[in-house]
Amino acid sequence: MADKNSKQPENVPGPWYVDTTCSLCRVCLDEAPNLMKYNADETYVYFFKQPETPEETAAAQRALDVCPTLSIGNDG
């Protein structure tokens, strides 16, 4: 389970986040490319946008579900 006390600092404020255990496997980017992206030096990904629609929330949930390291959280 992702740890909200270890969020990547670039996540935009809100319930969805990536924590510091991201291993950069990239699979979440296929599910939520409109919400998540690489940081500048491509060492992790983060939420640059919080979901605002049911479709975006579903995309974020798919990203959470496929993350092999359980690095994505939605508990703020």
Q: Which residues bind ligand SF4 (CB under 6 A)?
A: 18, 22-28, 45, 67, 69, 71-72
Instruction: Work out how close the CB of 33 gets to ligand SF4 at its nearest, in angstroms, rounded to a whole number.
Output: 11
Note the Cα 70 to chain centre separation in Å: 10
- Token output for 74: 């939605």
Work out the number of other CB atoms within 10 angstroms of the CB of residue 59: 20
Instruction: Work out how close the CB of 16 gets to ligand SF4 at its nearest, in angstroms, rounded to a whole number.
Output: 11
Q: Which is nearer to ligand SF4, 39 or 54 (CB)?
A: 39
Instruction: Work out how close the CB of 51 gets to ligand SF4 at its nearest, in angstroms, rounded to a whole number.
Output: 15
- Given a contact cutoff of 8 angstroms between Cβ atoms, the answer to whether 74 and 38 are in contact is no
